Structure formats: structure tokens, C-alpha cells
Structure 1
Amino acid sequence: MKKNLVLFVLFILPIVAYLFFASGINSFAKLPTITKSIPEISSWKTLDNKPVVLTDKITILGFMGKDVLQRKGNIFNLYEKIFDRNKNFKDFQMVMIVPDGTQDQVKELQKVIVTLGTQAGWNFVFATPEEINSFYTKLNLVGRLDSSLATPNVFIIDKKRNLRGRKGHDKKGKPEYKEGYNTKFVSELYNEMIDDVKIILAEYRLALKKNHNATKEMLSNEK
């Protein structure tokens, strides 16, 4: 009896657990596009006065507003559940848009991020309120920024600057629409955003593999 119980715990239970968690993955083989070709942000600068680009990067985009330090908890959730899992992917970056005048708050927040791990791949870019509102409007989203120019949601942007999310029907056939992921709720990041980021990264790994194989075939044909 004991032997059977040990065998169940060691072999059967992990398989059951895997199937349970795998069933939570969304129903999309490819993550739908919510908004095509959002504007580039290369004219905005970081604390180091450097530009940041969205093109050819997989970006998690956020709007932190004027009260940056009040959103430390959101950043902790995002770092732990999303960034830490994907930080080794070469073209993966976090971009947080903040209003001019919040530079000192961002410096303090960066000290917090250092305690979590690497800061490489984290970018805070500064813009005027007018620029932020104009840019956000062009994302064509249902959600809105609050009076401080913030939203708890973050957004997935692909290498072609398309905003990706969920649009269509879920596994049960019910209408599903998700344009952003609420960083207040660890459950939402864990149950939804992790899967959706995996889909985007898998999409580009597959594209790289296809390009590599095509190049090998071309070189082989030239011999």
C-alpha cells in the first residue's frame, strides 16, 4: 500500500498537476493583434538621456503616471511574474512611460528594482502629459489613463509595434477580449499574461528557426 502511494506521488501526481495547469493556457495558437503599428517612442529619453525603441523588440509597455512610488507593488508583481521569467530573451524589454518631473521618483524606484535582481532590460522614458495622452489615444484601447496619467494595465507589443492581446472566443466559446494585464493582481499575471508572453516568444523562436533553416538551405543550394 505504501509503495503504491509513493509511486502515485512521484509519477502520477506530477502528470495530473501538469495537465491541470496546461488547461489554463488560452485558446490562441497565435496571439491576436489589438492595434496595428503603434507609434515609435524614440524621441523620448531615459534618465541617462538615451532613446528607447519599440521596433524589433518584444516590449511590455506600461504607464506609471505622476505617483511613481505608489506603484512599487505593481512593479514587484511584474518583475517577479513576467520579467524574471523572460529576462534572458535577447530582445525582451520593459518600457514604463512616465511624465516629466518624476525623475527623482524613478531614481528611487530603480533602487528597489536593484534589490529584486538585474535592471538590464528595464527602461523608464519621460514625456510631457500632452505627449503621453496623444500616444495613448493612438493605441485605440477601451481602457483609459487616470488623472495622473497612469493605468495598472501593461501591454504586450511585438517587434512590428503591434499591440497584442486576446480577441475572439475562449475555449468555452464565450467572447473574450483582453488588451492589457492588470499588475495589481498576481493571479491575472500568472494565469493569463505568462501564457500570452510565452506565445509571443514562441512565435519569434519559430521565426528564427525558419530563417536559420532557410539560410542553410540557400547556402547548400549555392554549393
Structure 2
Amino acid sequence: MKKKIVLAALFVLPVVVYLFFASGVNNFGRLPILTEKVSDVSQMDPNVQFKGKITILGFLGNNVGAMQGNAFNLNQKIYKRFGEFSDFQMIMVVPQGNEEQVGELKDELGKLSNVDKWHFAFGTEDEIETLFASLKSNVDLDANLATPNVFIIDKDLSLRGRDDDEDEGVKYGFDTSSVAELNNKMVDDVKIILAEYRLALKKNNADRSK
């Protein structure tokens, strides 16, 4: 009798756990869309694009060296964790003329991890301001066209974030100067959007096989 109970528990428990988490992702695990139809970065720099990728978007500005610590935090806490996903990328927007500074940053990041999915988009001041304005966020660029905040852009060019954040209410971006915010909030939100797309892909594949 005890053996049967143990076997039943071993069989049932994993199923219950799976259903619990599957239900949670399906019903609660969708990252809210805060802004639709964000301008594609390809309009500014044809070497990169948002379409078809889950993008972490940042704005490094004219003083790339001053943003190096932010980039390192992002690399260690987000990129190293999710960089292996084929549909994940980082795009940092930088004003034209800062190519040398960006090269130095990439060299430094390369000492910490593979930087294949770190991309840098170069544009004019007007192009950068236009792209940033399309986010329709409550965050501002500074005089150097930089912000410590990064943003999650989905495959369909929508800005994702939180509409019920316990601290900010509506949360458009994540402060890369705060390791705690990256660990406690951004990691969770990137997990959610990746799971969302994977569930959709599995559903599409299942529907096709019927």
C-alpha cells in the first residue's frame, strides 16, 4: 500500500506542479503592452532592426565611457542570462561620431562574455530623439542623449513593461544603475516575455500538427 502511495505521489506531484506553473504563465504571465508601433531602429540605422526579435533597447549618448558601468550591469544580470536565446538581442543607440568609444566598450564587454548579440545603432540627434519619442514613456533623455533606463521591445515593435508596478505604477523602463532593479524586476519581466513567445510557438506547432 505504501509503495502504491509513493508511486502515485511521484506521478501526480510533477503533473500538479506543471499545471500550476502553466496556468500561471497563461493567465498571469503576459507582460503588458504600454506603447504600440514603436519606430523601428532600422529607420535610423539599416544594420539593425527590432522586427522579429525581443530587444533590450538602451541609449548610451555621447559619453559612452560614463555609461560603461550601466552596460556592465546589464551584461552581467540580463545578457549573460538570456543571450543564448536565438530571438533575443541588445541594441544600444549612440549618436554618430562615437564609433571609437563604442569599439572600446565592446572590447571591455568581450572580456566578460560573448558579445555577438550586443548591437549598436548610430544616428543623428534628431533621429535618436524621434526614436525615443516613439516609446511614449515617462522617461527623458539627458543633454547627452542618454538615459540609464533600458526598455523591452517585442517582436511586433511594442514597448512592454508594467502597468501595476508596486513602486512606480506604470513602469516603462529599467534602471541599469540599480543591480537590485535588474535582479528583482527586469529578470522576471524578460523571463515572462520569453515564455510568452515560447508558449505561442508551441501552440502554433501543435495546431499545425493536428
For the criterion TM > 0.5, the same-fold answer is yes
CA positional deviation for 1:175? 7.3
Structure 1: gaps spanning 5 or more residues: 1-26, 218-223
| Partner in structure 1 of residue 44 of structure 2 | 44
The 5-angstrom pairing of residues 1-223 of structure 1 reads 28-45=28-45, 51-168=47-164, 170=166, 176-217=169-210
Q: Aligned partners of 1:202 and 1:121: how far apart in 2?
A: 19
Query: 2:135 aligns to what SS in structure 1?
Result: coil
2:168 and 2:58 mapped to 1: Cα distance?
Answer: 26
SS of residue matched to 2:140: coil
Q: Secondary structure at the match of 2:147?
A: strand
The normalised TM-score by structure 1 is: 0.79
Distance in 2, matches of 1:179 and 1:95, equals 17
Q: Distance in 1 between matches of 2:129 and 2:199?
A: 36
Q: 1:191 to 1:175 in 2, by over 3 A?
A: closer
2-structure distance, mates of 1:123, 1:29: 28
Deviation at 1:156, TM superposition (A): 0.4
Q: Secondary structure at the match of 1:38?
A: coil
CA distance in 1, matches of 2:43, 2:88: 20
Alpha-carbon separation, structure 1, partners of 2:115 and 2:56? 14
What's the TM-score once normalised by structure 2's chain length? 0.84
Q: What do the CA deviations read for 1:99-139 (whole angstroms, capped 9, x no partner)?
A: 00111100110110110110111100100001111111121
Cα RMSD (Å): 1.6
Gaps of 5+ in 2: 1-26
- The residue that corresponds to 2:7 in the other structure is none
Question: How far, CA to CA, are the matches of 1:79 and 1:196 in structure 2?
Answer: 16
Question: In the TM superposition, what whole-angstrom CA distance separates every residue of 1:33-69 from its partner, at most 9, and x where no partner exists?
Answer: 1100101121333xxxx61110110000000000001
What CA distance in whole angstroms lies between the structure 2 residues aligned with 1:94 and 1:138? 18
Cα distance change, pair 114–175 in 1 and its aligned pair in 2 (3 A) = closer
Give the aligned residue type for 1:136: F
